[in-house]
């Protein structure tokens, strides 16, 4: 076999779907997973169970790989530098990935290249948060631990100095940001290869519920062309300036006064790009595989006028398979993607995608299917 081995650190659903995208290409995958029951570990043939935070485990895993990539950003930066020094291609590399690992580094890096962001700075204590608020429009203020947060975790909206005490109890640096008066959240997804080829997907609207992505609409409805192009340009500039290789998701605020501001970065396949599995000529997962192997990138254009992705969250109804009969019979064009996870309330256990020419119809089909699978809709 002369086909390369892609090593993926992390055994979640992103690794599972990236592996799926590599199968038609004959790409072999090796997985470093926390447990044998993880989403990707259920379907990848070559699985190493171990701790990604342990350098020797990482080195042993990487030794059999032609390239190493990730389904999360939590691998210690210093470990990735060791792998690079020992000749293992790491994509994205540690100099890029640290901007997705550390929100303070991210904000400093984006400032340096002139990317529009909310007003921000690192704060030392609750009194410093009050000073930060006074420098702008006052409370409320958004506080974020610089490392470790995701899906609303590690993020607080505080309305006074007393509430600001909680984030400092974690013992890690805290970033303060102005609370942006935004009309909606957007995301721009790009993929970049080592030799600098890049493709950009249509800008999408991302609808959050309780800090978790609920629905993604592609393209973002009603977004003026000049604003969509600006968001895509920002994402392409970030990928080039930071040296990103692979998929980059740039989460954005569209403000009520017509600006776009960068909220977060993710350097891996991302929930806001799941719609591309069924709605784009080449999915984010397939293009990520191509990018980390420095293959020519695929066409990112949408296949339909509208595509909607709705996350399936766990509830009190664990037998989702029995709901397939209803969902598939009701909507033969529906696409269901399940992750092999135990059903727990609020946990992302899958997603559905719908597509077509009528946005209202496409949204309703996705809403109904996700709700029926969860058990919140019963007819």
Give every CB contact of residue 314 below 8 A, 6+ residues apart in sequence. 341, 343, 344, 345, 346, 347, 348, 349, 374
Residue range(s) defining the domain that contains residue 9: 5-90
Name residue, tokens 């403000």.
255
pLDDT at position 149 over 80: no
Same domain, 318 and 367: yes
Give per-residue pLDDT as tens, 297-313. 999 999 999 999 999 99
Q: How far apart are CA 176 and CA 145, in angstroms?
A: 9
Same domain, 201 and 233: yes
pTM for this entry: 0.95
Same domain, 123 and 38: no
Backbone Cα Rg of the chain: 21
Give per-residue pLDDT as tens, 32-42. 999 999 999 99
Same domain, 158 and 186: no
Count of the separate structural domains present in the chain: 3
For residue 280, the domain's CATH number is: 3.30.470.20
Same domain, 159 and 203: no
pLDDT at position 6 over 70: yes
- Vertex 117: Cα angle to 112 and 123 (nearest 5): 85
Whether 106 is in a domain gets the answer no
pLDDT at position 150 over 70: no
pLDDT band at 1 (very low <50, low <70, confident <90, very high): low
List Cα–Cα distances, 72 to 12, 15, 92, 263, in angstroms: 8, 9, 11, 18
Q: How far apart are CA 337 and CA 23, in angstroms?
A: 16
Region of residue 375 (phi > 0: left; psi between -120 and 50: alpha; otherwise: beta): left
- CB neighbour class for 30 (10 Å; exposed up to 12, middle 13-18, buried from 19): buried
Same domain, 225 and 355: yes
pLDDT score, position 172: 85
Whether 53 is in a domain gets the answer yes
Same domain, 35 and 135: no
pLDDT score, position 152: 60
Same domain, 74 and 188: no
Other C-beta atoms closer than 10 Å to the C-beta of 307 total 28
Whether 379 is in a domain gets the answer no
Same domain, 198 and 312: yes
Give per-residue pLDDT as tens, 244-267. 999 999 999 999 999 999 999 999
pLDDT score, position 153: 74
Nearest CA to 299 among 199, 164, 154, 210? 199
- Which residue would you say has higher pLDDT here, 173 or 152? 173
Do 33 and 45 meet the contact criterion of CB atoms below 8 Å apart? no
pLDDT at position 144 over 80: yes
Do strands 260-266 and 246-255 pair parallel, antiparallel, or not at all (unpaired)? Answer: antiparallel
Do 296 and 344 meet the contact criterion of CB atoms below 8 Å apart? no
Same domain, 222 and 367: yes
Two structure tokens written together for 323: 């709901």
**CA end-to-end span of the chain, whole Å?**
51
* 189-201 burial code (b ≥16 CB/10 A, e <16): bbbbbbeeebbbb
For residue 163, the domain's CATH number is: 3.30.1490.20
pLDDT score, position 211: 82
Whether 112 is in a domain gets the answer no
Nearest CA to 263 among 137, 150, 166? 150
Whether 98 is in a domain gets the answer no
């Amino acid at each position: 076999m002369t086909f390369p081995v892609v090593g993926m650190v992390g055994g979640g659903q992103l690794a599972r779907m990236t592996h799926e995208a590599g199968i038609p290409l004959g790409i072999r995958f090796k997985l470093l997973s926390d447990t044998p029951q993880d989403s990707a570990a259920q379907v990848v043939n070559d699985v190493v169970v171990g701790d990604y935070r342990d350098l020797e485990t990482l080195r042993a895993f990487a030794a059999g790989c032609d390239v190493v990539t990730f389904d999360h950003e939590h691998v210690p930066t210093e470990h990735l530098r060791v792998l690079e020094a020992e000749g293992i291609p790491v994509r994205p590399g540690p100099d890029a990935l640290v901007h997705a690992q550390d929100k303070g580094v991210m904000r400093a890096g984006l400032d340096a290249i002139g990317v529009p962001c909310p007003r921000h700075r690192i704060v030392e204590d609750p009194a410093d948060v009050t000073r930060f608020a006074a420098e702008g429009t006052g409370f409320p203020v958004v506080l974020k631990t610089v490392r470790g947060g995701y899906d609303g975790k590690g993020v607080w909206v505080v309305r006074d100095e007393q509430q600001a005490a909680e984030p400092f109890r974690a013992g890690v640096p805290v970033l303060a940001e102005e609370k942006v008066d935004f009309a909606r959240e957007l995301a721009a997804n790009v993929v970049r290869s080592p030799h600098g080829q890049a493709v950009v997907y249509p800008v999408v609207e991302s609808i959050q519920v309780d800090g978790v992505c609920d629905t993604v609409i592609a393209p973002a409805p009603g977004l003026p062309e000049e604003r969509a192009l600006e968001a895509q340009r920002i994402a392409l500039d970030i990928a080039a300036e930071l040296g990103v290789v692979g998929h980059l998701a740039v989460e954005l605020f569209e403000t009520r006064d017509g600006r776009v501001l960068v909220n977060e970065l993710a350097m891996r396949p991302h929930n806001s790009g799941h719609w591309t599995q069924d709605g784009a000529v080449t999915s984010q997962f397939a293009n990520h595989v191509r990018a980390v192997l420095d293959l020519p990138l695929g066409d990112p254009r949408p296949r339909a006028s509208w595509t909607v992705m709705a996350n399936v969250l766990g509830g009190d109804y664990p037998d989702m398979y029995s709901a397939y009969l209803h969902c598939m019979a009701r909507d033969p064009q529906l696409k269901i993607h399940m992750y092999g996870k135990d059903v727990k309330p609020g946990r992302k256990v899958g997603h559905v995608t719908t597509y077509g020419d009528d946005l209202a119809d496409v949204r309703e089909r996705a809403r109904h299917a996700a709700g029926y699978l969860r058990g919140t809709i019963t007819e």
